Amino acid sequence: MTLSPAEYASLSLGDIRTGLDRRHFSARELAEAAFAAIEALEAGRVEAFLSLTPELALRAADEVDAQLAAGSGVADIGLLAGVPLGFKDNMNLLGSYTTCGSRMLENYESTLNATCVSKALAAGALPMGKLNMDEFAFGSSTETSSFKKTHNPWDLERVPGGSSGGSAAAVASGMLTASLGSDTGGSIRQPASFCGVVGFKPSYGVVSRYGVVAFGSSLDQVGPFARSVADVAALTDAICGYDPLDCTSQDVPASFSASVVAGQSDGIKGMRVGVVSEYLEAPGITTEVVLAFKEALRHVQDLGATIVELELPNAYAALSAYYVIGPCEAFSNLSRFDAVRYGFCVEGATNLTEQYELSRAQGFGLETKRRILLGNYLLSSGVYTTYYYPAQQVRTLITQDYRRAFEQADVLLTPTSPRTAFRFGEVSDPTSMHLSDIFTIPINIAGNGGLNLPVGLGEESGLPVGLQIIGPQFKDGNILRVAAALEATYDIERLAPLSGALSGGAA
């Protein structure tokens, strides 16, 4: 059969596996249908991709089809056999450019595959292309990208969130079955909330960071986007595991998909679900987010779980600590982009210092320069001990708060974002933008895992609202079990209305 773009867009990972096993379609047909969907929705609409890699995708599809023709089953090929997958453009993929959304790396060709990319390809994924992002992941709306603005598929006048906005928007629109993003302070979970998809940040160290261009090395984590909890679990199973190339990688045996099955079959009766009531009075939180959160708690109780009131006394200090630690690490990591070995280089400079200054001034965008300068100041003599040391001490206090909280609860629930997606240009000052991540930043500070679960549309905005589920460090199975049980209680649309254009509907 010939797979139409609309039929493709409705497929889950499980549907793809079943369809390939039963020869309802081939992997090449999947890739071609995905590119047709991208052609219909990308240009002038979503603008999620910075580059496409059709040669890589079709070659991978033909390899999957060849293995099937030789008698292999889909299970023999890998967890992601035939799955059209996109990568945030800070992940190195051989045969592509890795720009990080910055003119500084506009022409940088990947010289290796990031470990998460290698594992996805080894599991049979089809590499469709690289996805737009805030420049070097500095932002919460994908508006700081040097190349384009990605649009939220639920309302093209609104942002998709950030910094992994392209990864979230491509999945929400139906152009991709799944994607990978990175999360330093909420960059998977917040755009997942804005775009109405599932986004999962595992505990720090579960997925290797090797080959992913670093923002904050002690904060960054790779994770998946998809339209269901089962799909993000399968993706995480495919890309997780110890990597000797990443000194922070952890050997944590886990089967994330098994946790989803447990949630679907055994439920969450008897589990303890923690809530911090103070969060419902957070700065900027909207009524529709509060109402959606309270409805989620009712679902949790109906499923037989116990609600436990908790305190996280240092949680609100996380934002301040993050904007000390993050810029300091960014300053250190971005010093390598010196216009000598690679990267944007201004011609005609009279000496090396002038070449540095002009190239970095023109190659980096405003938000990137702001964070580099801030990090430089915070690490300077006489300032280092005033800000950086206390920020690390606050980090320790926040980590201890979470450890104490998880002595009383198996998971913690919070809103993912205090509001739904905002319009382009609506949030212009950095402080207001930073508040978009007020609920997500603390667990990057502490290293815990967290997941955004779509819980419907806001009563006022009509836009997706997300619920954040947080678990104890390295017990991410708790998160997926609760997410799977809760997901089954909601009857929500998994594709943005824009996807109707794939079958001839209104755009």
Catalytic residues: 88, 163, 187
CA angle 151, 155, 160 (to 5 degrees): 40
b/e per residue 21-50 (b: at least 16 CB within 10 A): eeeebbbbbbbbbbbbbbebbbeebbbbbb
Gap between the Cα atoms of 47 and 131, Å rounded = 9
**Around Cβ 208, how many Cβ atoms within 10 Å?**
24
Half-sphere exposure of 86 (CA within 13 A, CB side): 32
Gap between the Cα atoms of 406 and 501, Å rounded = 45
Under a CB-based contact definition with an 8 Å cutoff, are residues 444 and 183 in contact?
yes
Under a CB-based contact definition with an 8 Å cutoff, are residues 491 and 5 in contact?
no
Residue 454: beta bridge partners? 466
Helix axes 229-239, 476-487, angle to 10 degrees: 160
Gap between the Cα atoms of 500 and 25, Å rounded = 22
Helix (H) or strand (E) run with residue 464 in it: strand 464-470
Between the two ends of the chain, the Cα-to-Cα distance in Å is 26
Half-sphere exposure of 225 (CA within 13 A, CB side): 40
CA distances from 232 to 22, 69, 90, 189 (A): 23, 28, 20, 12
Under a CB-based contact definition with an 8 Å cutoff, are residues 441 and 185 in contact?
yes
Contacts of 402 (CB under 8 A, 6+ apart): 312, 412, 442, 443, 446, 448, 470, 472, 473
3-state secondary structure 229-245: HHHHHHHHHHHECCCCC
